[in-house]
Amino acid sequence: MKVYDTLVIGGGQAGISVAYFLMRSQLEYLVLDDQERAGGSWLQTWDSLKLFSPTEYSSLSGWAMPKSENEYPTKNDFISYLEQYEMRYNFPIQRQTKVLSVCKENNLFLVKSNKGIFYSKTLVSATGRGQNRFIPTYPNQKLFTGKQLHSIDYRNSDDLFGKKILVVGGGNSGAQILAEVSEVAQTQWVTLEEPYFLPDDIDGRYLFNSATQKFLGKANSSSVIKVSLRNIVMVDSVKQVRNRNVLLAKRPFLSFYEQGVIWKGGDKEEFDIVIWCTGFKASLKHLDTLNIIENNRIKTQYTRSIKEPNLWLVGYGSWTGFASATIYGVGKTARQTVKEIVEFLNH
Ligand code: FAD
């Protein structure tokens, strides 16, 4: 029976960031990923997606993303960078391997997958959020006879010409998909609160610098404009539609009816399609068997599970380290995670 020092579940940017630091240790490790190729959930994003983080802020530890003609990389630029990053370091990654459950056996982790069983002394879960889409529930949602899709299922606006479309969600996905769809269809945007657009000259660069200052405890409220990684970055496609009144958002409707939605005042409005740009929750199903999940989170000290101290969680969002669900932020949490694993195994 082979026992790894560490198994990393998930081979997206978080999993391979952890692999980078594991490679520099003497530990024996393996990354298990259910996709056919490199790219993680970037493989499932819409065709025209451009990153809001410029090239120098879209790099993982050790090897910077090569400059291209695009200041903001396209989704394919970034997937190609992830492919090259993996090849450059030749990480041990077993693809098309979906982890189904994890349990403890004699102080070891027993990891069951569609490709068999693996054993390890420690475990890193880096399964991201792409497989756990969040769609809020509204009264009579099932009565609606139009189409409903989540942003992860949206590819392009090819089949949407002339349709009437409701886009729900006030983040970057909502704003960018709305901008694209509005070129060919009639749209209405729904957001919980008035959307917050960052000034034109503030892009991922500023967001990440501000995030880093916060991470280092150096944020100075008088010098830092109040920004959050959830604010809308004015990428070109969003800037282009702002003069067409497309970005005017309404607050949520009361309920669905067969042909559309009913607004707060009682007015009904027909729609053909609803696109839910309402985000994701951590994909933790494979860890259900450990009985440590509360409200779809696991209590952690930085990235280490408190109840199951041989388990680390990387890349899920602020509860696993500040800006850990971003390309720029994940390296810090990956480095610290591997440091803790090495210390733990050397004791
Ligand atoms: P993922 O990329 O989801 O990787 C997880 C991997 O684990 C996947 O391959 C998945 O298939 C696999 N997996 C899941 N469950 C299992 C299992 N049980 N067994 C085996 N494998 C499993 N960040 C930025 O820094 N800049 C940006 O411009 C930016 N733009 C974004 C735009 C959009 C539309 C979105 C959604 C996010 C954006 N982000 C951006 C945020 C972030 O960088 C991405 O969400 C990133 O993909 C998260 O990486 P990850 O490795 O944590 O998760």
131 CA to centre of ligand 1 in angstroms: 9
Note down the domain range covering 311.
Answer: 3-132+280-345
Atom of ligand 1 minimally distant from the CA of 97? 20
- 111 dihedral zone (left: phi>0; alpha: psi -120 to 50; beta): beta
Indicate which atom in ligand 1 lies nearest the CA of residue 327: 25
Please indicate, yes or no, whether residues 16 and 69 belong to a single structural domain of this protein: yes
Q: Does one domain contain both 57 and 154?
A: no
The pLDDT, as a whole number, for residue 222 is 46
Based on the domain organization, do 263 and 209 belong to the same domain? no
Residue among 31, 50, 60, 127 whose CB has most ligand 1 atoms within 8 A, to mutate: 127
- Long-range contacts (CB closer than 8 Å, 24 or more residues apart) made by 105-114: 108/3, 109/7, 109/310, 109/311, 111/7, 111/9, 111/32, 113/32, 114/34
* Closest protein CA for atom 22 of ligand 1: 10
Residues 25 and 148 placed together within one structural domain of the fold: no
pLDDT of residue 245: 86
The ligand 1 atom at the shortest distance from the C-alpha of residue 14 is 51
Biggest distance spanned by C-alpha atoms of the chain? 66
Residue 125 Cβ contacting ligand 1 at under 6 Å: no
Cβ of 59 below 6 Å from ligand 1: no
Domain stops at, among 276, 302, 333? 276
CB of residue 325 inside a 6 A radius of ligand 1: yes
Q: Is the CB of 78 under 6 A from ligand 1?
A: no
**Kindly report the CA angle at 15 between 40 and 134, in degrees rounded to 5?**
50
Q: Are strands 268-270 and 116-125 parallel, antiparallel or unpaired?
A: unpaired
Beta-carbon contacts of 276 under 8 Å, excluding residues fewer than 6 positions away, are 133, 135, 136, 148, 149, 150, 151, 168, 169
pLDDT at 270: 98
Nearest to 192 by CA among 274, 253, 102: 253
Give CA–CA dist 80/99, Å, rounded. 25
Phi and psi dihedrals of 217, rounded to 5?
70, 20
Token pair in block for residue 235: 């990428």
* Token digits of residue 76: 């394919």
d(CA 342, CA 344): 5
Is residue 216 located within the same domain as residue 261? no
Residue 207 sits in the same domain as residue 193: no
Indicate the number of domains in the chain.
Answer: 3
Best residue for ligand 1 mutational test, from 7, 16, 32, 34 (most atoms within 8 Å of Cβ): 34
- For residue 329, give the ligand 1 atom closest to its CA: 25
* pLDDT tens, the chain, 347 aa long: 899 999 999 999 999 999 999 999 989 999 999 999 999 999 999 999 988 888 888 999 999 998 877 778 999 999 999 999 999 999 999 999 999 999 999 899 999 999 999 999 999 999 999 999 999 999 999 999 999 999 999 999 999 999 999 999 999 999 999 999 999 999 999 999 999 888 887 777 777 776 666 666 665 554 445 566 678 888 888 888 888 889 999 999 999 999 999 999 999 999 999 999 999 999 999 999 999 999 999 999 999 999 999 999 999 998 999 889 989 889 999 999 999 999 999 98
Helical segments of 182-326, H only: 204-215, 236-241
User: What is the pTM (predicted TM-score) of this model?
Assistant: 0.93
Q: Are 225 and 249 part of one and the same domain? A: no
User: Domain check: are 159 and 266 in the same one?
Assistant: yes
Ligand 1 centroid from CA 35, angstroms: 12
Task: Note whether 337 and 256 are same-domain residues.
Answer: no
Please tell me whether residues 92 and 62 are part of one structural domain.
Answer: yes
Does 327 sit in the ligand 1 pocket, CB within 6 Å?
yes
* Domain end position, chosen among 276, 300, 332: 276
pLDDT of res. 279: 94
> In the prediction, which pLDDT does 70 show?
78
Asked whether residue 31 falls in the same domain as residue 108, the answer is yes
Residue 157: CATH number of its domain: 3.50.50.60
* pLDDT recorded at residue 219: 58
Ligand 1 atom with the shortest distance to the CA of 324: 52
Residues 115 and 10 grouped into a single domain: yes
Length of the chain in terms of residues written: 347
What is the per-residue pLDDT for 309? 95
Probe residue for ligand 1, chosen from 205, 326, 333, 337 as the CB with the greatest number of ligand atoms within 8 Å: 326
